[in-house]
Amino acid sequence: MSVKQLNILLADDDTDDCIFFKKALTELVIPTNLIAVHDGEQLMHLLINETTLLPHILFLDLNMPRKNGFECLSEIKLSEKLKQLPVIVFSTSFEQDVVNRLYKNGAQYFIRKPPEFSQFKKIIQQALMLIVQGNISQPTREDFVLTLQNS
C-alpha cells in the first residue's frame, strides 16, 4: 500500500476510548488520519454517502447505541461497495462465541482492548502494520485474534 497517510475510521461511542485511540495514533510513526463516529447509524451513513474516498481501515466497537457493531459488520460485508473494507473489531470483552461469529461474518481481525496504554499503542500499531503490508484478505481462524507480539 503506497499512501502517504492511512485513513482510519473509528466507530466507538466511548469518549475515553476515542481519546486513547487518538493519543495512541499520534504517538505512532505511521502517518494517519482519524475520523471517529459514535454510533452505528452515523457509521453506516458516512460509509454509504462517501463518494470519493473510503477509509483504509475501520476500527469497530461492538457495543454502540442505535446500531451495534455486529449489524454494521453484516451490512458492510453485504455491500458491494464496502465489502473490501478491512474491519478490525475492537472490544473490551473476549467471548469465544462472539469472536467466532465475527470471524464468520467477515471481520479482518479481533483485538481485545488491553488495559495498559503501552499495550494499547502496540496492538494498534501491529494491526496497522498488517494492513499496510497488504494483509487485507481474512486470515486463518488461529490468526484472527491479534495478540501482542514480543518485539
Partner 1 sequence: MAKINHVEELIFQKKENEKLVAELSIANKELAFQKEEKGKRAAELGIANIELAFQDDEKGKRAAELGIANKELVFQDDEKGKRAAELSIANKELIFQNEEKEKRAVELGIANKELIFQNEEKGKRAAELTIANKELAFQNDEKEKRAAELGIANKELAFQNDEKEKRAAELTIANTELAFQNDEKEKRAAELGIANKELAFQNNEKEKRAAELDIANKELAFQNDEKEKRAAELGIANKELAFQNDEKEKRAAELIIANKELAFQNNEKEKRAEELIIANKELLAFTYISGHDLQEPLRKIQTFVTIILENENKNLSDDGKYNFQRMQLAAGRMQQLIDDLLAFSRISTTELKFEKTELNTIIEEVKTELKETIQEKHATIEATELGSVNIIAFQFRQLMYNLISNALKFSSPGIPSHIIIKSRIVKGSELNNEKLSPEKNYCHITVKDNGIGFEPHFSERIFEVFQKLHGKEVYAGTGIGLAIVKKIVENHNGIIIATSESKKGATFDIYIPAD
Nearest C-alpha neighbor of 148 from the set 109, 128, 120: 120
Q: Let me know: does 37 contact 46? Beta carbons within 8 Å.
A: yes
Stretch that binds partner 1, among 44-52, 82-90, 112-120, 122-130 (CB under 8 A): 112-120
Residue 80 found at the interface with partner 1 (CB under 8 A): no
**Over the Cα atoms of the chain, what is R_g?**
14
Q: Let me know: does 63 contact 95? Beta carbons within 8 Å.
A: no
Stretch that binds partner 1, among 11-19, 35-43, 82-90, 126-134 (CB under 8 A): 11-19
Residue 144 found at the interface with partner 1 (CB under 8 A): no
Nearer to partner 1, 22 or 77 (CB): 22
Give the C-alpha separation, 14 to 20, whole Å: 10
Nearer to partner 1, 27 or 50 (CB): 27
Nearer to partner 1, 46 or 145 (CB): 145
Q: Cβ 86 to partner 1, closest distance in Å?
A: 24
Q: Cβ 115 to partner 1, closest distance in Å?
A: 3
Give the C-alpha separation, 87 to 1, whole Å: 17
Kindly tell me which residue out of 4, 16, 53, 151 binds partner 1, with binding defined by CB under 8 A.
16
Give the torsion sign (CA, 42, 48, 52, 55): positive
